[in-house]
């Protein structure tokens, strides 16, 4: 039976850097449509303390999510040294499709995967292109789907992309707008006849009955006359949900892989919130009966890249593998974890061996 092995990675980090100070001029509102009584400087200071975010990246006005995805994909294809015409699947994870600058209207006709395939000028009709809207865990889930295709013998090579322009769907009057950013990451996954390399196990869950709307689209907190909808989040409940459920999902994946947490070298977790991610990892180690996690186990990019949803994990992986994250490396034989949580509410985790 084949296993799914990453043979190439790519990412695209947008040019425009937005520091926290850019939000000092915003008028933030509470949910009751009343301006916040706190100063913007105190709001931003508290925000940075909790999330770890000091800056984020936004796409240029002439770029959409599919453009970012195509740039990351082209880099991954080049890094893998393959002919793009040999791809069997292009799977693209996103939340809002292409959202044009100064419009927050979602555009997914045609799909982002079809747009990216066209931008890459891939002619092969047997290269199937489709999208996965699965919240922030979308890229991990797309990777899991690619793994199924490869293990079944249906595919030999898959391109898995996460691309997002969340800056186009944020409410400037909502302090949570400071979390979100733009970006794209991609990997090429190939079938290999190997038992000790590639995807070893995974776990996915959806907690919709009680938690489906913790993230949703809603009207501006400023009660604007326009009926535009913006991304909204119940931050406290998302935090409580994540630290309560994600550690167990990761443990299940580890147990399925037949390995111990002590052997894991890196945990690449979705860059949602620094304190939340730290709490998840602390609980995971406690759940597995271990002491505090070792230094360097959890790389973080959120401080300078913000939360680009589906793009955070593949972007971080690409940066580490290319030596662009100080004090972090992934070597041959290393066991790593990809894990995410997000809208739906969805959770997933992959145990992968290099």
In a 10 Å sphere around its CB, with 0-12 CB exposed, 13-18 middle and 19+ buried, how is residue 18 labelled? middle
What are the tens digits of pLDDT across the range 157-176? Answer: 999 999 999 999 999 999 99
The Cα 114–Cα 132 span in angstroms is 12
Q: What is the pLDDT of residue 296?
A: 92
Separation between Cα atoms, residue 210 and residue 207, nearest integer Å: 7
Domains (range + CATH), the chain: 3-192 (3.40.47.10), 198-353 (3.40.47.10)
Q: What is the pTM of this model?
A: 0.94
Measure the CA–CA gap between 72 and 65, rounded to whole angstroms.
Answer: 11
Residue 301: both structure tokens together: 């990019």
- Output the pLDDT for position 104: 84
CB burial readout 197-231, b (16+ within 10 A) else e = bbbbbbbbbebeeebeebbebeebbeeeeeeebbb
Phi, psi of 165 (to 5 degrees): -125, 75
Q: What is the pLDDT of residue 51?
A: 93
Of the candidates 11, 56, 50, 45, the one whose C-alpha atom is nearest the C-alpha of residue 307 is 56
| Tokens (6 digits) for 1 | 């039976």
Average pLDDT over residues 144-153: 96
Residue 235 banded pLDDT, cuts 50, 70, 90? confident
pLDDT tens digits along 278-318: 999 999 999 999 988 999 999 999 999 999 999 999 999 99
The pLDDT assigned to 84 comes to 98
As a whole number of angstroms, the longest Cα–Cα distance in the chain is 61
User: Mean pLDDT, to the nearest integer, of 62-86?
Assistant: 98
pLDDT at 108 over 70: yes
Residue 242, token pair as written in the block? 């994540």
Interval 102-114 mean pLDDT? 92
DSSP-derived secondary structure letter, 96: S
pLDDT greater than 70 at residue 257: yes
Distance CA 6, CA 160 (A): 10
Distance CA 236, CA 229 (A): 21
Mean pLDDT, the chain, rounded, equals: 94
pLDDT reported for residue 105: 87
Residue 37's pLDDT is 80
Q: Are 330 and 314 in contact, with CB atoms under 8 Å apart?
A: no
| Mean of pLDDT values over 312-328 | 96
Please calculate the CA angle 307-350-327 and round it to the nearest 5 degrees. Answer: 60
Q: Torsion over CA of 21, 179, 74 and 139, rounded to 10 degrees?
A: 170
Task: Check whether 137 has a pLDDT greater than 80.
Answer: yes
Bond into 181 cis (ω within 30) = no
With CA atoms as reference, report the closest residue to 250 among 337, 336, 333.
337
Predicted local confidence at residue 225, as pLDDT:
65
Q: Round to whole Å and give the CA distance between 50 and 273.
A: 7
pLDDT band at residue 221 using 50, 70 and 90 as cut-offs: confident
Least confident segment among 112-116, 130-134, 154-158, 215-219? 215-219
Strand partners, 269: 339
pLDDT tens readout for residues 190-203:
999 877 899 999 99
Contact 310, 164 (CB under 8 A): yes
Looking at residue 110, the DSSP 8-state letter turns out to be S
């Amino acid at each position: 039976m084949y296993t799914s092995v990453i043979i190439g990675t790519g990412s695209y980090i947008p040019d425009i850097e937005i520091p926290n100070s850019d939000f000092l001029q915003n008028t933030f509102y509470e949910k009751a449509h009343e301006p916040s009584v706190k100063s913007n400087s105190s709001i931003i200071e508290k925000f940075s303390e909790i999330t770890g975010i000091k800056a984020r990246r936004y796409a240029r006005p002439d770029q959409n999510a599919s453009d970012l995805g195509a740039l990351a994909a082209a880099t991954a294809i080049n890094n893998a040294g393959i002919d793009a015409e040999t791809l069997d699947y292009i799977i693209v994870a996103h939340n809002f499709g292409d959202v044009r600058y100064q419009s927050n209207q979602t555009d997914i006709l045609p799909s982002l995967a079809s747009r990216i395939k066209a931008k890459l000028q891939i002619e092969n009709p047997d290269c199937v292109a489709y999208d996965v809207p699965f919240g922030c865990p979308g890229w991990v889930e797309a990777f899991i789907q690619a793994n199924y295709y490869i293990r079944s013998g249906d595919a030999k090579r898959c391109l898995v992309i996460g691309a997002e322009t969340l800056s186009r769907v944020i409410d400037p009057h909502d302090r949570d707008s400071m979390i979100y950013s733009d970006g794209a990451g991609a990997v090429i996954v190939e079938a290999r006849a190997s038992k000790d390399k590639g995807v070893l196990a995974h776990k996915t869950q959806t907690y919709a009955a009680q938690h489906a709307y913790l993230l949703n689209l809603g009207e501006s907190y400023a009660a604007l006359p326009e009926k535009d909808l913006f991304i909204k989040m119940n931050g406290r409940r998302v935090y409580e949900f994540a630290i309560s459920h994600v550690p167990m999902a990761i443990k299940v994946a580890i147990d399925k892989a037949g390995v111990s947490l002590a052997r894991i070298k890196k945990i690449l977790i979705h860059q949602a919130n620094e304190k939340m991610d730290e709490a998840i990892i602390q609980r995971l180690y406690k759940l597995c009966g271990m002491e505090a996690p070792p230094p360097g186990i959890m790389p973080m990019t959120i401080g300078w890249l913000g939360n680009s949803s589906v793009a955070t994990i593949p972007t971080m992986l690409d940066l580490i593998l290319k030596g662009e994250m100080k004090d972090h490396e992934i070597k041959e034989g290393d066991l790593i974890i990809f894990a995410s949580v997000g809208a739906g509410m969805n959770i997933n985790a992959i145990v992968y061996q290099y």
